[in-house]
Each structure stands twice: as C-alpha cells, then as structure tokens.
Structure 1
Amino acid sequence: MATPGQLFLVPNTLDFGVSADCDLREVLPAGVLRTAAVLTHWVAENAKTTRAFLKRVDAIQPLARPLQEISIVELPRPPKGRDAGPPPDLKSLLAPAIDGHDIGLISEAGLPAIADPGSDLVSAAHALAIRVVPLSGPSSLLMALGASGLNGQSFAFVGYVPVDAAQRTSRLRELEALSRKFRQTQLMIETPYRNASLLAALLATLNPDTRLSVSCGLTLAGAWTRSDTVARWRSQPAELPNDVPAVFSLLAG
C-alpha cells in the first residue's frame, strides 16, 4: 500500500493575477514556489486562475511537468439556502493522496480555507489521516488587522454584510454593539464594486467615536491603510476604487 501523500495549503497572491508589476518573489516565500512547482495534483477554487498562478511560478521555478499534464480539479460550489442539503462528499478529491501523491489546495487569492473555500476538504483530509501542511503566505485579513492599529488581541471576521440597506444597517449596528461589549475588532470584506457603498453605510451607521480602518490593495503598488474615527472619516471623506479588494475593520469605543 502506498504511503499517503500530503495536502499542502498553498497561498496565492492578493492581486488575482492581474497585476503585471507584482513579482511572486516579493509576496510568496521561496519554499512555497518550490513546493508549488513540484505538485502535479491540485484542488482549486478556480481552475483558470490556478493555471495562471502556475504559469507565474514556472517563470521563476520550472514546473515538474508541463502545465497541460497537471491535474487541476475545482472544489464544488457550496450549497445555498437552508434546504440545500448536506455538503458534498469531498473524499474523492483526495484520491491522489491516498495513492501516494501530494495535493495542493489553492484559492483565487490569499490563504486557502481562510475567508475562502477549502475548509471542508481539509476536514476530509484529517478524517482520512492525510497530513495537512499549511504554507506561509499573505492573508489580507491579518495584514489589514495589523495595519489598522485596532485590537489585535480579540477580533472576528464576519465576512460579507447584507446588500439590502435596512438589513445592512441592522447588521452593522449589531457588529458595533458586539465590538463595544467585547472590545473586539470586527473585520469584513465586500465585492470591490460595492466598496464605496459599504464605506458610505459604515459612515452613516456607526457612532462618531468608533474607529474605522480600511486597507485597500494590500501587497499591490499603491496599497494603503487609513485608520481613523468615524467622525474624521466623515469630515475628510475618501474615495475607494471599485476594482481593488479592500478590508474594512471597526472597533467601537
């Protein structure tokens, strides 16, 4: 019986593969590039972006096999709604590891299984006694938290807030109350084309003394973080790009 392979959690850049001036070596450790270059089996959030990632790796660290010979299987889309049924059985995606091949798990950006799909596959790997190896790389959430100056000892990532205006206002007030009660930083993200509308909602809803931080385009040329009170954000407004990811963090006083 073959010795089981390992599941490597391979970090991706935060530029979604569209920044020509982003050198992988400036963002990812050399060990990650060496590991990615030898893996011949991948489970990916998106096969197209994974192929683009591997082309960038190949320019620095030649791939062990031609790209067309590398197996890239996409994670199934998670079920939606309360009646969507149980999550899919992901053990079949780990068959190469059972046969002795190492597998890479990769997201479109950042660390797999952190604010991205993949945790169910990691759980399945543990159930099959497959060793899980997380590799170092950029996480926009942790980078934004560190750059914010807000409470890094207690924090929560809450994902996306509702798009509906009334529901969004209610949710932001709830998060502000939780932040105040537990002295806990609340982090959220939004689809880039709705960056401006989320910022406007935050400024309209939060108390003036609540601290709000926005990190935009982390690791990219021109990346910035602004951390200030809501009152000062209102008096000195900022425009957010509609095509660059941002992380929003708040800490109530």
Structure 2
Amino acid sequence: MSGTLYLIPNTLGADTATDALAHIIPEQVQALTARLDYFVAENAKTARGFLKLIAQRHPLAKTLQEIEIAELNVNTPAQALAGLLEPLLAGRDAGLISEAGVPAVADPGADLVRLSHERGIQVRPLVGPSSLLLAVMASGLNGQSFAFNGYLPTDAALRTKRIKELETRSRAEKQTQLLIETPYRNGAMLDALVGACQPGTLICVATDLSLPTESIRTLNGGKWKSLLAAGKAPDFHKKPTVFLLLA
C-alpha cells in the first residue's frame, strides 16, 4: 500500500520570536510533521530550519541529520519527479514543504501532486497560511471572484500592457486581480500599477502577511499616486508582498 503525501504549510517569512509557529501552524499539523522522516522541499537548508522550529514543541522522528530531504524546485527536470515518489510507492509517508506558505500554490510542488494522483498516491492538504487568501481577506476587494496572475513581465512596456489587460478584465468581470513580484522590485511594481491604472482603480499592497511587520493598505490609484509623489511609499523593500487591483 502506498504512503500518503502530506502538503505541509510553512511560515510566510522569518519570525525570530520564541515559539514562532504557535499562531501560524496548527498544533496537529506540527505533530504530524514531526513524525515524518522523508520530505520534498524547494530548499533542503530552509526546510531543516522549519523542522527545527517544529522540534521546539514536538520531538522529531529522527535527528535532523537522519531525516531525508529531497529538493524540488524550478531547476528539477520533469523526469526526476517519479523518483521523488518512489519512497511513497514503497509505503512511506512523505511531506511536501513549500519555501513559504502552502505547497503547490505558486509553487513547483504542484507537478508532484498531480503525478501523485496519477500514481494512486493519497494526497492530504494540511491547514496553514496562504498569503494570497490572507491578502484577499484583508484587502476589502471582491472576494467572490478573484484570479492569481503570478509574476508580470520585467520589461516595462510589456508589464504596463499586462497591467492594462488585467484592469480591463477586472472591470468587465468585477474580478479582483492578484499578482506578486520579486521583493526587491516591489517599488517598481507599485509605480507601474499606479502609472498604468485609472485613478479610481483600487490597489492593495499587502506586505509581510502574518508577521510582526505586517502591513496592508488599500487605496485608489489617485491616492497612491499622491503618496508616492510625496515620498510616502510603503515600507516594503525586499519584503514579500501581494498586490491586488479591482477596477
């Protein structure tokens, strides 16, 4: 009988407080994670750091050095996925850990989940933080219809064109549009949104969600333009941020 692939939520960023997982990852999820000895993760080093936090409250099944962590990231070839599932097909349970937040959402783990279904392996998603859902919840924008668009083009002209397309779609469908950016380019992204969108379009900037430095603000494009002109940009440089717009 095959093992189970558990989709294990991670924190959304670094929090050095004692027992940092207490208000983010449910106790049952922590306890289940602690009993596993095989994981698939984007980065083995950061996955071990996460397991160290788990170990503060729940003894691990094996020492960190003995726990097996296989890497799955954007550089993993498709033909390597089957090998990652061999322990599960042999009856061993495994945990899929994202670099941040929930696995398989804006995360390369989705391909492994799909292959697990094809191979008849049980998949169990566990409760934890999703930056996208937290951002929708706190934005005040339409939570009945929304779409996640990932990263936009880095070329300025193509990015502006894409933003205008998303704004048109948002207006036509009354749909909230979500996107993310590499944290060091957050400023450029907000500038592009303000420059491309109509003054009445609502734009939300949600930064460091679930962390002590969390900041969430929704304003229309005109008000954002005034703030940026006055040098009052959000404190979001190099911080994970979700951008949302609703025309």
Q: What TM-score do the two structures reach when normalised by structure 1?
A: 0.92
Equivalent in the alignment of 1:4: 2
Flag structure 2 segments of 5+ consecutive residues without an equivalent: none
Equivalent in the alignment of 2:243: 248
The 1:60–1:14 alpha-carbon spacing in structure 2 relative to 1, beyond 3 Å, is: same
Equivalent in the alignment of 1:109: 100
The residue correspondences of 1:74-153 to structure 2 (distance < 5 A) are 74-78=71-75, 87-153=78-144
Residue pair 2:205, 2:244 contacting (<8 A) in 1 also: yes
Structure 2 counterpart of 1:147, one-letter code: A
Query: What is the number of equivalent residue pairs in this alignment?
Result: 242
Equivalent in the alignment of 2:221: 230
CA apart distance, 1:233: 1.3
Residue pair 1:13, 1:27 contacting (<8 A) in 2 also: yes
Quick check: 1:20 aligned with 2:53?
no
Give secondary structure in 2 for the equivalent of 1:234: helix
Q: Distance in 2 between matches of 1:8 and 1:120?
A: 14
CA apart distance, 1:225: 0.7
Pick from 163, 167, 181 the counterpart of residue 158 of structure 2.
Answer: 167
Q: Distance in 2 between matches of 1:163 and 1:123?
A: 29
Structure 2 counterpart of 1:239, one-letter code: P
Equivalent in the alignment of 1:30: 27
Give secondary structure in 1 for the equivalent of 2:179: strand
Residue pair 1:76, 1:88 contacting (<8 A) in 2 also: no
CA apart distance, 1:76: 4.8
Equivalent in the alignment of 2:234: 239
Residues 73-128 of structure 1, C-alpha deviations (whole Å, 9 max, x = no match): 0015358xxxxxx8335121111111111000011100000011111100111111
Residue pair 1:43, 1:104 contacting (<8 A) in 2 also: yes
Give secondary structure in 1 for the equivalent of 2:143: coil
Q: Which deviates further from its counterpart, 20-29 or 126-135? A: 20-29
RMSD, aligned CA:
1.4
The residue correspondences of 1:166-245 to structure 2 (distance < 5 A) are 166-237=157-228, 238-245=233-240
Residue pair 1:179, 1:185 contacting (<8 A) in 2 also: yes
Give secondary structure in 1 for the equivalent of 2:242: strand
Give secondary structure in 2 for the equivalent of 1:248: strand
Equivalent in the alignment of 2:47: 50
The residue correspondences of 1:55-70 to structure 2 (distance < 5 A) are 55-70=52-67
Residue pair 2:73, 2:108 contacting (<8 A) in 1 also: no
